[in-house]
Amino acid sequence: MKTPNRVFPIPGWIALLFLVVTAPGRAAPADRPTGSISGRIQNVVSGQYLNSVRVSVKGTDLVAFTDQSGSYRLAGIPGGPVVLEVFYTGLDPQQVPLTVPPGQNVERDVGLTSVARYGDDGTVKLDSFVVSTSRETDGEAIAINEQRFAANIKNVVAADALGDVMDGNVGEFLKFLPGITAEYDTESGGSVASVSVRGFPTSMAVLSADGLQMSNTGNPQGSSRVFQFKEVSINNISRLEVTKIPTPATPADSLAGSIDMVSKSAFERKSARLGYSVSLAGIHEHLSLQKVPHTSDQKVYKVLPSFSFDYTLPITKTFGFVLTGQNGNRWVEQQRVPRGYNAAGTNTGASFSRPFLQSFQLTSVPRANARNSVGVKADWRATPSGVLSLNLERSRFISDRSQASIGLTTGTNAAPTPATGTPMTFGDNFTNGATGRGGVTLMGTGASVIQKLDTKAANLRYRFDNGTWRVVAGFGKSSSEGGYQDTRDGRFRTLGIAMMNPVRVTFADINDVRPQTIRVFDNANRELDLYDINNYRLNTAQSTPRPIIDSLTNGKLDVRRSLGFLSFPAAVQVGGLHRAQTRDVRRESINWTYNGLDGNAATPESPAPYRVTAYGNQRENFGFRTM
């Protein structure tokens, strides 16, 4: 059955107007000629330009904060000698004396360091501990400094503060932040799929990139607003900002809060920098560098390479770009052995105090996950106070899952059929099913599918701040295609394969994991081989393809004006947001009945013609062999 295309409109143009007032203090007299000071602030040891450095004029309430490129600008400064105070958490504060000519701008760059950490000459002495300690300290300083001067309650963490993140998954990074609860996706190998903020449902937290929301098709249901991290990579991100308290300037659908992924900027560094990482990943059971059999009946590599890089190139003082890329591959093994106990049944004598093991299932769903991403960002300082940034990204996530499963049940009726057969008996560590009441099935659970997600995004952002006016404008467009694909790739999601006739199933030596002994008998009490495919019949096949297309266009504009004519620091801000999203979700449920190679449905048909060849006689976990 196909569902019609659906469009989910999101309300647009939200008018925002609020007045920001801080504690009264001294401001520059309005009747004196004024000038301005601008420049950039850098960590002279790491070479990184610093964001949110507090720059103030001593003896006044004139304060400015550096932007992502380390740039600041102070306007309305009384002419004459002044002292510039520069503060950043984790580095030594500085006082810089200057003379400001009336009506002119003074450019002054400032380099910060920490004498206690680096010494008087700024030399970094490397040993086996300093490198990692320095990175952790820098990440902590960034977080503390951003949160110290934030306008509301939020957490800010540099993306490299925790070192390498598994698969480049942003969720694996966010889960360490306070107030964040990770939600895992067992279908993608147990990695973090999404997060909730402050205990609210995941759908109530808006996730954006540089302030603009991105399209997403990671959720297999398609109709959910939940953003899944399969389609973004932390390799493109400089820092993450988690805002827990909405303000009038945040979107109305961010009830729980918002998460903004701030992309890397060419103005973060003074000189070119190339960072890269190369690795091999595998699991201890499959460490061979040769191709080995896989449940898809192919031979594949299970020790997989990965690499990532980011290249920052500031070409001039006013223009530069950042190029990032990642190819992450990981092999994931997943073995599940659910057991079902029954406290009822016909003539069984079972109760809640004395249940019997009715069913046991082994599901093996190994998968190969691949996460690929590439991004380029160009930054141009069009004016001394304005920066124009263009960011282009593309990412692709592929999860190839080929399952193998077996399910066994003793049945729920203690009376045998035929009546001359063996009745059910059970105890604390065994269950002997009744003749003709049990069953064995293959390939009835799990999934044999390929999930492919492809996202393309572009956004243009302009930020202007001259100390009096601050304008932030952005326009973004993204599209994503994804969903489950099975029959298109020659797969069935599930198969209906069962033993030829009703059987008697016995479980013995039951422990905390599984029954160590499993035996199956026919109605003549002859034991059957679980691993002989000729004892089974192929009945049905089923598929549920779920193609999803999501496109999103959004734009925002915020304009802020400092009210310097007042005797206390104040500002007024007005802004708007427009967001339009179209989502096309289609889901089919297709069922087939197998009539055999000769088309005669009257006789049971064995799945033997389709038996695997490359994967034969492979060992499964928990003591089983090839399914």
The answer, yes or no, to whether residue 480 has pLDDT greater than 80, is yes
216-273 pLDDT, tens digit per residue, is 887 766 566 778 888 788 888 888 888 887 777 777 777 777 888 888 888 888 888 8
Cα separation, 241 vs 435, in Å, equals: 63
The answer, yes or no, to whether residue 557 has pLDDT greater than 90, is yes
Using pLDDT thresholds of 50, 70 and 90, give the confidence band for residue 122.
very low
The answer, yes or no, to whether residue 290 has pLDDT greater than 50, is yes
596-606 pLDDT, tens digit per residue, is 888 877 777 88
The answer, yes or no, to whether residue 132 has pLDDT greater than 80, is no
pTM, whole model, 2 decimals?
0.76
- Evaluate whether 38 touches 77 at the Cβ level (below 8 Å): no
Q: Is 567 exposed, middle or buried (0-12, 13-18, 19+ CB in 10 A)?
A: exposed
Residue 123 neighbours by CB under 8 Å, 6+ apart: none
**Most confidently modeled range among 57-71, 120-134, 273-287, 568-582:** 568-582
344-360 pLDDT, tens digit per residue, is 999 999 999 999 999 99
Cα separation, 176 vs 170, in Å, equals: 11
- Evaluate whether 485 touches 401 at the Cβ level (below 8 Å): no
**Closest to 524 (Cα-Cα) out of 499, 500, 504:** 504
Q: Which two tokens stand for residue 234?
A: 């932390």
Residue 286 neighbours by CB under 8 Å, 6+ apart: 292, 302, 303, 331, 333
Cα angle: 174, vertex 399, 498; to 5 degrees: 125
Type and span of the H or E element at 565? none
State the average pLDDT over residues 529-533: 89
Type and span of the H or E element at 553? strand 546-562
- Evaluate whether 269 touches 190 at the Cβ level (below 8 Å): no
What is the chain's mean pLDDT, rounded? 82
Q: Which two tokens stand for residue 457?
A: 């995004």
Cα angle: 43, vertex 49, 50; to 5 degrees: 80
Residue 401 neighbours by CB under 8 Å, 6+ apart: 187, 365, 366, 367, 446, 447, 448, 449, 450, 451
Measured in degrees and rounded to the nearest 5, phi and psi for residue 118 equal -115, -10
**Closest to 220 (Cα-Cα) out of 602, 598, 594, 586:** 586
Instruction: Provide the residue count of the chain.
Output: 627
Cα separation, 576 vs 249, in Å, equals: 8
- Evaluate whether 41 touches 86 at the Cβ level (below 8 Å): yes
The answer, yes or no, to whether residue 26 has pLDDT greater than 50, is no
68-104 pLDDT, tens digit per residue, is 788 888 888 888 899 999 999 888 899 999 999 988 8
Cα separation, 262 vs 155, in Å, equals: 13
Task: Give the Cβ contact number of residue 128 at 10 Å.
Answer: 6
**Closest to 531 (Cα-Cα) out of 597, 596, 618, 603:** 618
Q: Assign residue 509 a region: left if phi > 0, alpha if psi is -120 to 50, beta otherwise?
A: left
- Quickly list DSSP for 68-79: TTSEEEEEEEES
**Most confidently modeled range among 7-11, 325-329, 516-520:** 516-520
The answer, yes or no, to whether residue 15 has pLDDT greater than 60, is no
Q: Any idea what DSSP says for residue 204?
A: G
Q: Is 334 helix (H, G, I), strand (E, B) or coil?
A: coil
Cα separation, 110 vs 219, in Å, equals: 47
Query: Cα(first)–Cα(last) distance of the chain, in Å?
Result: 31
pLDDT at site 129: 41
pLDDT at site 130: 41
Cα separation, 141 vs 163, in Å, equals: 15
Q: Which residue has the higher pLDDT, 248 or 428?
A: 428
Q: Is 117 exposed, middle or buried (0-12, 13-18, 19+ CB in 10 A)?
A: middle
State the average pLDDT over residues 153-160: 76
Task: Give the Cβ contact number of residue 1 at 10 Å.
Answer: 6
**Closest to 210 (Cα-Cα) out of 15, 459, 377:** 459
